[in-house]
Chains A and B, each alone.
Chain A
């Protein structure tokens, strides 16, 4: 079982749709959960992060963590064509590790 699983898609939605992106993980020691956004032919950039369980909202984006199910989600409300990108989840343990473990990424296209 891979440490982090993410459906690579691709996912295509109309403008204005609510998008749900998900990752599952197997390592119960993960405490920090991140979403990176990667535009085509660019490096990833941090979009949001959460610590442990719970929700975090930033504008149209909401990140959720359910540690009991080892499941994290990113919701995008009122999706825009500019949201078209690959979204990578990433995780790390608390303390001691410099390493992030990344999912494979989900490619999202928002059609105008």
Chain B
């Protein structure tokens, strides 16, 4: 049982490039989330999903896209990367909407230069 896994661990992008951050969970959780964490700024919700085929915007969705074709996978797409997207990205999952325990992945450190 690996929990929530994220790839890559680190990435450097040039301005205007695109990339996909991968997230997979093996706990059969319905709910999945993408956060970004900037130094001293806490966690900001980017997008979330309540099940396969259903996604919704969080607090800071601009510049990102998501899809949820399976229960296990919830990739985050960055189009036209900008320096403001330099951050640590965390994927998380939870069993139900009533669950306050979210299980986090190890994070992806992204630098856009």
Contacts and interface: CB of A to CB of B under 8 A. Distances in A.
Interface of A: 4, 6, 8, 32, 34, 41-46, 49, 88, 90, 92, 95-100, 102-105
A43 B107 contact: yes
Main secondary structure, interface of A, reads loop
B53 interface: no
B58 A99 contact: yes
Given A43-B107, A102-B43, 8 more contacts: A42-B106, A43-B4, A44-B90, A45-B103, A88-B42, A97-B97, A104-B40, A105-B40
Q: How many B residues are at the interface, by size bracket? A: 20 to 34
Interface string B37-68: 00011110100101000000010000000000
A95 B98 CA distance: 7
B48 A99 contact: yes
